Amino acid sequence: MKREIVTPIHRAIDKEAIRNGIRHVGVKGLDIAKAEELGIMSRISNLLCAMHCLTMTAHRIYGEVDYWFGVAGVKKHEIKRACAEFENAYDRWFKFWRGYQTVDGVLEMNSQMEDLLEQYMRWSQIPVQWNPGDKQDAYSEHEPMIEIDKGDKILRVYRDIVESELVDVVEEWAVMRADTTEGKSTMTCVERGMDKASAQMSAKRASANEHGRLYTASKLETITEKRLECIPIKAFQDGEMIGDIKSVIR
């Protein structure tokens, strides 16, 4: 089972500013009221938030590229020139869309962009923190069992679940509290071993006593599973062994 990591994107774009901008431009044939009724304005706002967060993340990655060009002493290169063009385009984009953002939204999105950057780098298997001489690849959550160096590329063979059979599920309910420290939220279990109705009542009561604090009534599942896993030990090609399982200290 894959563990999903979710980064919520704050709605930092002011929908009223979008409406006013469209009215000012005067899009022919566009019925603002109808577009609002159909949710088009909200959709545009949400998409722009996602787009802007991605653009900010790309700009952070560009910043490191530019830094390493500087460390290497590269001053004139077509890649560096292209990066400079991206920087100029980003400045124009940022200046333009700042008028469509709320002040609080900008601060919130800066924090979320850091989370998104970390997750994107992990997805790309690139270390977030890196120093000259360090390994270039960062493994995903499930490290490969066998690595085969082919010179121009590295082949990685992973363990896999061949069959999975659900044996038993024991369900209970709990109350979880959102705790925020340094801009990041974690969920803490404050009460468990409840039924659904009790968890909902308890979460509602707790949220009423702490203004602004988020509580959830959550279902906990203890899952018993019968699983057949394939664990690669040695790899062969053209009659020769070309790789074997890595020794890993846990």
Between CA 205 and CA 200 the distance in angstroms is 9
* Ranges of each domain in the chain: 15-123, 162-229
pLDDT tens string 98-147 = 776 666 666 777 777 777 888 788 777 788 888 888 877 665 556 677 88
DSSP string, 11-56: --B-HHHHHHHHHHHT-TT--HHHHHHTTHHHHHHHHHHHHHHHHH
Q: Which of the pair, 69 or 104, is modelled with greater confidence?
A: 69
- pTM over 0.75, yes/no: no
